[in-house]
Amino acid sequence: MGSVAEDTDLIAALQAAVGADQVLHGERLAERPAGFWSRHALQARALVRPATTEEVSAILKVCHQRRQPVITHGGLTGLVGGAICSADDVVLSLERMNQIEELDPVDRLARVQAGVILQQLQEAADAQDLLFPLDLGGRGSATIGGNISTNAGGNRVIRYGMTRDLVLGLEAVLADGTVVSSMNQMIKNNTGYDLKQLFIGAEGTLGVVTRAVVKLSEKPRSQQTLFVALNSFAEVKQFLKLMDARLGGALSAFEVMWQNFYRLVTTEPATNQAPLSQNYPFYALVESMGGDPEADQARLEAALADAYEAGLIQDAVVAQSEAQRSALWAMRDDVRQMGRVGPGSSFDVSVRLSRMEDYVNAVNARLAARFPDFTNIIFGHLGDGNLHFYVAPGQTGDGIKEAVERAVYEPLADYDGSISAEHGIGLSKKAYLSLSRSADEIRLMQTLKQALDPHNLLNPGRIIDPA
Ligand code: ZN
């Protein structure tokens, strides 16, 4: 913590930058929780709430002069500790930068401030018969700035890509307060380095994203959702290929549940009913989006009939109403049931589909060797090669968490996989970064960090440490 005189000076300078009302410190800070997942009060020297890019710039200039670390906060729904702050930090919250500045149905783009809530943008697009396709569980709190800074993924990546694929341009403020406005509004623009990519997925370490131009799509006129049971992982892979080929680009989600996940979310006290027998090894939740309800339904049913005939699927239900559609997704989203198998850790990893089964077997073999009573609940966005695990080792104590992490992460090197598919690195996965990125790659990240933030002030300690 700074001395009283330093604190007074810092607070006065921040107040001059953004107005006294928008600088929270002391008692006014104690009312704020530390995060979405936390009930503890937030610890910081101050929390500042700018309303414009110019105010963000003024705040960062104040902090740069004083070599004051700054942690940027969006919706706080992250899962890797990216927003964790201490009593020595200034927190920069973009919650007041929540304006949708433009939403154009002809150009099919939206210009937004970084603090816009994801769901707010989804609804604004929908009202104009457009789709902002990014969708994830935290939609009601997560912000566009946070989605961009973490390159968020979610449920529709197979069709629309990650957040990176939805950003046309953005504006960011560098550590010294320089505003880099790169608000491109065109799909094609080859004019040198694509600077926006420096900030997408950088977790706020190279600059603070303040505004963005994002791509919108036409709103689908129809949506089909089905749920199938399968006998083997080989059939899961073939079924994905068959559906993607037969639906001609309409496939928008391909989520897979291993049997243990399905049993957990359809057995009391979970409130979802099992739509199919619990006795199959794999289940897939499949969604397509199209432009012609009757033709789309017919095409889906024909594809499903093909899959039956080829022996790829054992049983299936097709949602006949919005209520049935929601019920199928509610199973997939009921990740709170994981805790029932005991205390443990959640994982988000990526591996090529062709190597996924071997990788899962390798992880389970390592867990079994060390933890005879382990449970590994498995599900994920299979269409994207993205797996989620919840591992309960069946024992507690020193070093257990790390041993579980090593069992999950270390085999990834053999399968050319990634320790983070869609959650980022933050603080939680930093120690394992070298399993997914080479020493030269990490050195280049350090070079970029050094060039843009030489005093290591923006979200310090996230992703990498200085060289
Ligand atoms: Zn996910």
CATH code: domain of residue 369: 3.30.70.2740
* Rounded distance from Cα 64 to ligand 1 centre (Å): 36
Residue 453 located in a structural domain: no
* 392 strand-pairing partners: 375
Q: With 0-12 CB in 10 A as exposed, 13-18 as middle and 19+ as buried, what is 30?
A: exposed
Cβ contact 313:226 at 8 Å: no
461 Cα–ligand 1 center, Å: 24
Domain-embedded: residue 34? yes
Q: How far is the CA of 436 from the centre of ligand 1 (A)?
A: 19
- Which pLDDT belongs to residue 5? 81
- 255 C-alpha to ligand 1 centroid (Å): 10
Does 240 share its domain with 325?
Answer: yes
Q: Is the residue at 274 inside a domain?
A: yes
Domain final residue, candidates 58, 73, 93: 93
| Chosen domain end from 335, 361, 389 | 335
Domain boundary among 317, 335, 353: 335
R_g of the chain computed on alpha carbons: 23
What separation in Å is there between the alpha carbon of 153 and the centre of ligand 1? 7
Select from 293, 289, 401, 396 the least CA-distant residue to 345. 401
Q: In CATH, what number is assigned to the domain containing residue 25? A: 3.30.43.10
Strand partners, 33: 41
Looking at the structure, tell me whether residues 169 and 195 fall in a common domain.
yes
In a domain, 52, yes or no: yes
Q: Which residues contact 337 (CB under 8 A, 6 or more apart)?
A: 264, 265, 270
Whole-number Å distance, alpha carbon 195 to ligand 1 midpoint, is: 27
The region, left, alpha or beta by phi > 0 then psi within -120 to 50, assigned to residue 397 is left
Q: How many domains are there within the chain?
A: 4
| The pair of three-digit structure tokens given for residue 267, joined into one six-digit string | 């057995």
Collect the ranges in the chain with pLDDT lower than 50: none
Q: Please state the pTM of the whole predicted model.
A: 0.95
Q: What angle do CA 279, 283, 286 make, to 5 degrees?
A: 150
Å from CA of 386 to ligand 1 middle: 7
Q: Can you state the angle between helices 233-246 and 353-370, rounded to 10 degrees?
A: 150
Does residue 466 sit within a domain? no
CA dihedral 72, 74, 75, 78 (to 10 degrees): -60
Q: How far is the CA of 315 from the centre of ligand 1 (A)?
A: 25
- Residues spanned by the domain of 296: 222-335
Measure 155 CA to ligand 1 centroid, in angstroms. Answer: 7
Which of these, 175, 222, 219, 221, lies nearest to 199 by C-alpha position? 175
Say how many Å lie between the CA of residue 447 and the centre of ligand 1.
31
Question: Same domain for 64 and 105?
Answer: no
Spacing, Cα 387 to ligand 1 middle (Å) = 8
- The DSSP code for 425 is -
Could you tell me the distance, in angstroms and rounded to a whole number, from the CA of residue 388 to the centre of ligand 1?
A: 7
Separation of CA 398 and ligand 1 centre (Å): 29
Cα–ligand 1 centroid distance for 421 (angstroms): 8
Residues 107, 171, single domain; the answer is yes
Using the mean position of ligand 1's atoms as its centre, give its distance from the Cα of residue 29 in Å.
Answer: 32
Same domain flag for 189 and 108: yes
Q: Is 70 helix (H, G, I), strand (E, B) or coil?
A: strand
Centre of ligand 1 to C-alpha 121, Å, is: 20
- Please tell me whether residues 118 and 182 are part of one structural domain: yes
- What is the Å distance from ligand 1's center to 358 Cα? 21
| CA 193 – ligand 1 centroid, Å | 30
Residue 377 maps to a domain:
yes
Q: Note whether 184 and 203 are same-domain residues.
A: yes
Could you tell me the distance, in angstroms and rounded to a whole number, from the CA of residue 379 to the centre of ligand 1?
9
The CATH number covering residue 293 comes to: 3.30.70.2190
What pLDDT, on the 0 to 100 scale, is given for residue 2?
63
232 CA → ligand 1 middle, Å = 22
Residue 216 identity: L
Burial (0-12, 13-18, 19+ Cβ within 10 Å), 286: buried
Q: Is residue 438 part of a domain?
A: no
User: Cα(152) to centroid of ligand 1, in Å?
Assistant: 9
How do residues 24-80 score in pLDDT, each as one tens digit? 998 888 888 777 777 788 899 999 999 999 999 999 999 999 999 999 999 999 999
- Do 327 and 238 share a domain, yes or no? yes
Distance from the CA of 48 to the center of ligand 1, in angstroms? 31
Q: Tell whether 359 is covered by a domain.
A: yes
154 CA from centroid of ligand 1 (Å): 5
Same domain, 180 and 268: no
CATH number, residue 172:
3.30.465.10
Q: Which helix (H) or strand (E) holds 387?
A: strand 386-392
- Rounded CA-CA distance 409/418 in Å is 8
Q: State whether 179 and 275 are in the same domain.
A: no
Q: Are residues 193 and 116 in the same domain?
A: yes
Same domain for 86 and 146, yes or no, is no
